[in-house]
Amino acid sequence: MLGLISAWGTVAIHGREGFRAERAAVRCLFTDWARSAPVPGVMDTWLTKWWRRTVGRLQEPDGAGRPDPERTTELEAAARRYGVPLLPLKGALVMQVLGEWGVPPEQIQEVETWVAATGARAQGG
Asked if residue 75 belongs to a domain, the reply is yes
What pLDDT is recorded for position 124?
Answer: 47
What pLDDT is recorded for position 14?
Answer: 85
What pLDDT is recorded for position 101?
Answer: 87
Enclosing domain of residue 44 = 31-118
Q: State how many domains the chain has.
A: 1
Other Cβ atoms closer than 10 A to 68: 12
Determine phi and psi for 5, rounding to 5 degrees.
Answer: -120, 135
Asked if residue 5 belongs to a domain, the reply is no
**Total residue count of the chain as it appears in this document:** 125
Residues in the chain predicted with pLDDT less than 70, given as ranges, are: 34-68, 120-125
Asked if residue 41 belongs to a domain, the reply is yes
Write down the pTM of the prediction. Answer: 0.65
Asked if residue 81 belongs to a domain, the reply is yes
Helices (H), the chain: 46-51, 69-82, 89-94, 97-100, 105-118
